[in-house]
């Protein structure tokens, strides 16, 4: 399933890019980025089930046909790549990517192109994937609504000062939770219009997305790079909340040890991860019907804990 959808997405993206009529240099640039990104996915897929399979897993799991998910999967993949690039630009971390030599301007323009390329694909769902107008309209509306909320979450992340833990969790849900919920909804909507099932798949995707965000935070905390994790909103919110609780005094050795706070945050995030895992599992149970791809959906949740 995973190899097939990657190949189908690549074919759809290549065809769409070549049919846009854009200038040759930019067309070749987009194609090279797509090839590089798909190859990266294929490399990672050797030992992990990838999130790009979410639309297909939910479509097939609820009784739909896998060939109908190519367009929505390609569109979501492009937005994921665009979000990654913009996040690196906005966080001044472009030098940590393979796009560092291009500079901020070309990378920002690349991300913009990927967003509009995604829109081109969504505009052709009826023609290219045989999706009825009502279903395609629902999917396009969810794409727009979800991405706007993702931008809202990123705004909080970029502008908020001295966030509370509750605010950080809200930004995680908006940035990552809603984005992965979108992938689940796009696939599920191709198979059903049952509100209860669609809400369940959205809840699963939200929990998976926040789980993946936590995994990134935990990876940063594991690095011996204080400038990286001490600047994170989750670290500072946790630090401030513990200090303001009155349980520790500033003079205490523990309170003055940043490494101790880092270790405490790791434990806190581990607990939250297991809570999210249980919520994701419960969301699948809420469907109250056979979910054909449940083993793979469980695997995606579990490999993120």
Q: Which of 200, 171, 169 is nearest to 184 (CA)?
A: 200
Domain ranges of the chain: 2-302
**Residue 99 phi, psi (nearest 5):** -100, 10
Dihedral of CA atoms 82, 83, 88, 90 in degrees, nearest 10, equals 110
**pTM value?**
0.92
- pLDDT value, residue 45: 60
CATH number of 2-302: 1.10.600.10
Residues of the chain with confidence (pLDDT) below 50? 251, 253-255
Secondary structure of the chain in HEC code, one letter for each residue: CHHHHHHHHHHHHHHHHHHCCCCHHHHHHHHHHHHHHHHHHHHHCCCCCCHHHHHHHHHHHCCCCHHHHHHHHHHHHHHHHHHHHHHHHHCCCHHHCCCHHHCHHHHHHHHHHHHHHHHHHHCCHHHHHCCCHHHHHHHHHHHHHHHHHHHHHHHHHHHCCCCCHHHHHHHHHHHHHHHHHHHHHHHHHCCCCCHHHHHHHHHHHHHHHHHHHHHHHHHHHHCCCHHHHCCCHHHHHHHHHHHHCCCCCCCCCHHHCHHHHHHHHHHHHHHHHHHHHHHHHHHHHCCCCCCCCHHHHHHHHHCCC
**Residue 2 phi, psi (nearest 5):** -65, -45
The residues, any chain, with a CB within 8 Å of residue 202's CB and separated by 6 or more, are 181, 184, 185
Copy the structure tokens of residue 227: 């400038």
- pLDDT value, residue 192: 96
- pLDDT value, residue 275: 96
- pLDDT value, residue 253: 47
- pLDDT value, residue 92: 83
Copy the structure tokens of residue 41: 């996915």
- pLDDT value, residue 46: 58
The residues, any chain, with a CB within 8 Å of residue 83's CB and separated by 6 or more, are 111, 150, 179
Residue-wise pLDDT for 39-83, tens only, equals: 887 766 656 678 899 999 999 999 999 999 999 999 999 999 999
- pLDDT value, residue 228: 60
Q: How distant is the alpha carbon of residue 153 from its chain centre?
A: 12
Do residues 202 and 181 touch, judged by C-beta distance below 8 A?
Answer: yes
Half-sphere exposure in the Cβ direction for 197 (13 Å, CA): 18
- pLDDT value, residue 236: 82
What separation, in Å, do the N-terminal and C-terminal C-alpha atoms of the chain show?
23
């Amino acid at each position: 399933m995973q190899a097939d959808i990657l190949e189908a997405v690549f074919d759809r993206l290549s065809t769409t890019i070549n049919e846009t009529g854009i200038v040759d240099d930019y067309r070749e640039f987009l194609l090279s980025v797509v090839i590089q990104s798909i190859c990266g996915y294929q490399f990672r897929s050797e030992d992990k089930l990838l999130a790009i399979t979410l639309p297909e897993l939910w479509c097939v799991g609820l009784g739909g046909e896998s060939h109908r998910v190519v367009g929505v999967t390609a569109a979501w993949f492009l937005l994921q790549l665009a979000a990654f690039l913009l996040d690196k630009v906005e966080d001044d971390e472009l030098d940590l990517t393979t796009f560092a030599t291009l500079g901020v301007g070309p990378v920002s323009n690349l991300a913009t192109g990927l967003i509009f390329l995604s829109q081109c694909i969504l505009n052709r769902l009826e023609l290219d994937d045989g999706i009825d107008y009502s279903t395609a309209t629902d999917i396009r509306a969810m794409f727009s609504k979800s991405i706007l909320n993702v931008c809202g979450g990123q705004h909080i992340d970029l502008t908020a000062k001295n966030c509370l833990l509750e605010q950080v969790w809200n930004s995680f849900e908006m940035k990552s939770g809603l984005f992965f919920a979108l992938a689940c909804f796009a696939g599920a909507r191709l198979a059903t219009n049952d509100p209860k099932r669609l809400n369940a798949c959205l809840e699963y995707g939200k929990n998976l997305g926040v789980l993946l965000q936590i995994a990134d935070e935990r990876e940063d905390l594991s690095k011996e790079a204080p400038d990286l994790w001490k600047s994170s909103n989750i670290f500072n919110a946790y630090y401030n909340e513990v200090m303001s609780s009155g349980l520790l005094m500033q003079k205490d050795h523990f309170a003055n040890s940043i490494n101790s706070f880092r270790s405490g945050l790791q434990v806190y995030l581990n607990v939250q991860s297991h809570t999210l895992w249980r919520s994701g599992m419960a969301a699948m149970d809420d469907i109250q019907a056979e979910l054909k791809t449940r083993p793979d959906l469980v695997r995606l949740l579990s490999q993120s804990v």
